[in-house]
Amino acid sequence: MRNIEGNIVDVINREIYAGEIIIENQKIQKIIRKETTSEIYILPGLIDSHVHIESSMLIPSEFSKLAIQNGTVGIVTDPHEIANVCGIEGIEFMINDSKQGPLKTYYAVPSCVPMTKMDKSGAILDAEKIDKIFTKHKLKVLGEMMDYPGVINKEETIIEKLEIAKKHNAIIDGHAPGLNSKEIKLYAEAGISTDHECSTIEEAIEKINLGIKILIREGSAAQNFEALYPLISKYNEMVMLCTDDSHPDELIEKGHINKIIKKGLEKNLDIFDLLTVTCINPIKHYGLEIGLLRENDPADFIVVDDLQNFNIIETTIDGKMVYSNKRILFKTKIPKQINNFKAEKIKIEDIKIKPKKEKIKVIEVIDKELITNYFTSTYKIQENNINSNINKDILKIITVNRYENKKPAIGFINGFGLKTGAIASSISHDSHNIIAIGTDDENITKAINEIIEKKGGLCYVKGNDYYTLELEIGGLMTTQKGEDVAKIYKELNQIVKVNGCNLTAPFMILSFMSLIVIPKFKMGDMGLFDVEKFQYVDLFI
């Protein structure tokens, strides 16, 4: 038996009172009101309603340590990153490693592996395999349905997956950026219940009016809280919070879901409105077995210093204190590695491209956004090869299929600002082929080959200087400690910025430049992809 006293934040009844919580057998046995005053506040633990653990570059057991110290007690996670690389084996790895830590981790069954029929990944999860995963692990959610053209056009393979989810009474998560009114209606009618891709409040309200719940995202790359936070007060029951993607330096320095709570408090949002979208709504929507500070609930709660600074003092899950005063109170072991890397090193000739017409299409990056624009431009030629043009900030971007030996796809991109060297990554959503950007072909080739040699990672290369973060688990994650990964990652970003890049999170933005379901232009493994036309297009115009 254990007891704790403090100011109890009752989210259900929207009141705060001094009290004592009696805990026994992992549950809250009794809550007693007190007359005494207290300096601490006890409230339900925070929930991330949509996150990809792989994007932290940490395995689940290490990710849980950073999440818990930020007051997160539960997450809904879609392992489609590792599934795109390693298939069912990758999903099994994530589920098993999560069991090492106390974080309540609810897995979705990935719906889009590969992401679309236009994308090449390391595995395929068809309706039959999805059915088996639901059955074996008794999962409650079908992961974000990114193939929205397939939903809208009622493609047979997509409809089969949706029907499998309905057979298992599963919640179906969405991913639908920039759809028109007719398309949103068709998407909602297919049974899809959420969307985390809204960037404008008008888009969000239109989806809410069709019954789609909005997950306000504030991650390391896409940050939509500033645009969408008024929804929390106006449509309180139709909103949840998520990070989608959080890198380790962000988790350590800025926080997890607690950082979004702090932003809301700074906007003078009502604390109960904030806690409703953070705690009550995810539990109700996804059917999570997470406590809400009620008698007979699982004893899941956090202790904070006050309701303005919102500093996390303690985290308790199932009655056990798992974090206290900057100390993680559980240990984990390093799991067995898994990977899928078959690409062989390339030659500099493989990324040369001969000029054809007068102009090329150029992807235009927008800082802190996953969407891109594009424009047309003349190009720089040297020895019958189109090179990067540093003066115009038009750099060569290369995608290399890592699952088989194929000719690299070549394009051009604006907005990175790099003045020298090249960066490369085996994290490139969602198929996770190798993606690289650089100021010259020699450095680009070296960077790509560094990733191939290490079988995954992030790197910056300039001449004979190599700076690399190795990601030995699927080319996406490492077993290193979160603090160590955060340090290396931060140093890598800083090196890239010192060499001219002006983006907030260069490697995070790079990783989304191959995500061919986010408008407008991206680089797939077969070339330049026009998302609005949903087809590969000629680089030249």
431-480 pLDDT tens trace: 999 999 999 999 999 999 999 999 999 999 999 999 999 999 999 999 99
298-347 pLDDT tens trace: 999 999 999 999 999 999 999 999 999 999 999 999 999 999 999 999 99
Q: Is position 110 within any domain? A: yes
Do residues 281 and 400 share a domain?
Answer: no
pLDDT of residue 256: 98
Average pLDDT, the chain: 96
Q: Is position 221 within any domain? A: yes
**Domain containing 65: what range?**
46-289
Give the CATH number, domain containing residue 130.
3.20.20.140
pTM over 0.95: no
Last residue of a domain, one of 257, 289, 321: 289
Do residues 135 and 218 share a domain?
Answer: yes
Q: Is position 301 within any domain? A: no
Q: Is position 313 within any domain? A: no
Burial class (CB in 10 A: 0-12, 13-18, 19+), 157: exposed
- Count of structural domains, the chain: 2
189-220 pLDDT tens trace: 999 999 999 989 999 999 999 999 999 999 87
Last residue of a domain, one of 267, 289, 311: 289
Is residue 161 a contact partner of residue 129, using CB atoms and an 8 Å limit? no
Last residue of a domain, one of 244, 268, 289: 289
Do residues 135 and 214 share a domain?
Answer: yes
Q: Is position 22 within any domain? A: no
pLDDT of residue 153: 94
Q: Is position 303 within any domain? A: no
19-72 pLDDT tens trace: 999 999 999 999 999 988 889 999 999 999 999 999 999 999 999 999 999 999
Do residues 353 and 281 share a domain?
Answer: no
Return the beta strands (E) in 25-170 as ranges: 27-33, 41-44, 46-51, 72-77, 104-109, 141-145
Do residues 285 and 359 share a domain?
Answer: no
Residue 115 pLDDT class (50, 70, 90 cuts): confident
In this model, does residue 495 exceed pLDDT 80?
A: yes
Do residues 223 and 82 share a domain?
Answer: yes
Do residues 383 and 499 share a domain?
Answer: yes
Which run of H or of E encompasses 20?
strand 15-24
Q: Which of 195, 157, 153, 206 is nearest to 173 (CA)?
A: 195
Q: Is position 541 within any domain? A: no
Do residues 393 and 271 share a domain?
Answer: no
Do residues 174 and 80 share a domain?
Answer: yes
Q: Which of 127, 240, 85, 235 is nearest to 174 (CA)?
A: 240
Q: Is position 335 within any domain? A: no
Q: What angle do CA 162, 524, 149 make, to 5 degrees?
A: 30
pLDDT of residue 397: 98
Q: In whole angstroms, what separates CA 534 from the centre of its chain?
A: 23
Burial class (CB in 10 A: 0-12, 13-18, 19+), 481: middle
